[in-house]
Structure 1
């Protein structure tokens, strides 16, 4: 099971969260990664935790002011990247371009999708994984695996029908070890979460709970 924590632009201490994630991952043997703001990637990577970008742009080197170059995040220690998060939606051609850019820089990829139909479309682009995240549940207290387990099951089926090599992650509302266990039972191989850790008073305690039932 893979736990990917997106820090978004929350006012948390990325080094505190990264250090806690590193320690919990080392103690539990569970794969945990942190996805900070682009400006913090190098600092977070220096803690030794697996580090991901929140986005890479669908372009190579050149005249692309304001872009997030895949090679740049890789050079600063990122091992992977989110693409097409619900809060940073891309056109299909740009999702394809971002996946290609990430692969060019040897970054793992998770393409986010709203529903099983979009999961199938995303899987056709051959990312490493897709994450199903109903927008109405993002940032809430109810996990998608609890609120509507059928969405997760259908997403797993949709991805598998296109490319069995593409993993399926479960996002939106994940915050406890029970949520992680439920996602695994539904066929997900990872979870994507944010506020449950980034807004926590004690990120280490939350991370310990998240891995408690794996």
Structure 2
């Protein structure tokens, strides 16, 4: 999943959640920073903004796809529709949009059907192992208490990251592990990589920044 780029090989995925930011501004900045540095940077906007974000040229991810096929599923996010709008990957089971295990499995099937790359989020190493067993491309460990705090899990409790990496590897060594919650600086990204993560998942550090481009440049600077 994670291609080599620069020195430390890391993937940076910016989740815009439902923050009142300009998704096009963030996406344009992310596309420019990725092109200039060679670091893989992606943006996950609201479903309604997928096509506009994808048009900037940035790697675009859906925040969620539903465990459904074409049919009578009002209010669902169809995986094929996300692809038609320009998405190439999707998050699943974020702590703000928890799914039952069967629904995670169903959403993974939907994503696979539409050829979307997948990251399944989980709270702790035990859940990471369960998520990895479902066969996603990657998992992301994010303790909910640290989300949006600016305190990265790599500093608050680094064993969560190392244990998550070990838990995923014990189930399926091909499943990458990302580190989320509180990531906001290049130092945080480096720390996550040193603990064994293949990338980072963050939101407010970029989406709430006064200057998203500057925030992104700081995040990837150590990776060039």
User: Residue in 2 aligned with 1:162?
Assistant: 171
SS in 1 for 2:201: strand
Asked if residue 191 in structure 1 is aligned to residue 203 in structure 2, the reply is: no
Which one scores higher on RCO, CA 8 angstroms, separation ≥ 6?
2
SS in 1 for 2:43: strand
User: Residue in 1 aligned with 2:215?
Assistant: 206
TM-score by length of 2: 0.95
User: Residue in 1 aligned with 2:7?
Assistant: none
User: Residue in 2 aligned with 1:94?
Assistant: 103
**What residue ranges of structure 2 are gaps of 5+ in the alignment?**
1-9
Asked if residue 122 in structure 1 is aligned to residue 100 in structure 2, the reply is: no
Measured in 2, the distance between the counterparts of 1:147 and 1:174 equals: 11
Measured in 2, the distance between the counterparts of 1:204 and 1:147 equals: 26
Q: What number of residue pairs does the alignment pair up?
A: 214
Task: Write out per-residue CA displacement over residues 53-104 of structure 1, whole angstroms, 9 at most, x where no aligned residue.
Answer: 0000001000000000000000110000000000000000000000110010
Measured in 1, the distance between the counterparts of 2:69 and 2:140 equals: 25
**What residue ranges of structure 1 are gaps of 5+ in the alignment?**
none
TM-score by length of 1: 1.00
SS in 1 for 2:119: strand
Asked if residue 104 in structure 1 is aligned to residue 113 in structure 2, the reply is: yes
User: Residue in 2 aligned with 1:76?
Assistant: 85
SS in 2 for 1:212: helix
Q: Which runs of 4+ in 1 moved over 2 A?
A: none
Asked if residue 58 in structure 1 is aligned to residue 84 in structure 2, the reply is: no
SS in 1 for 2:80: helix
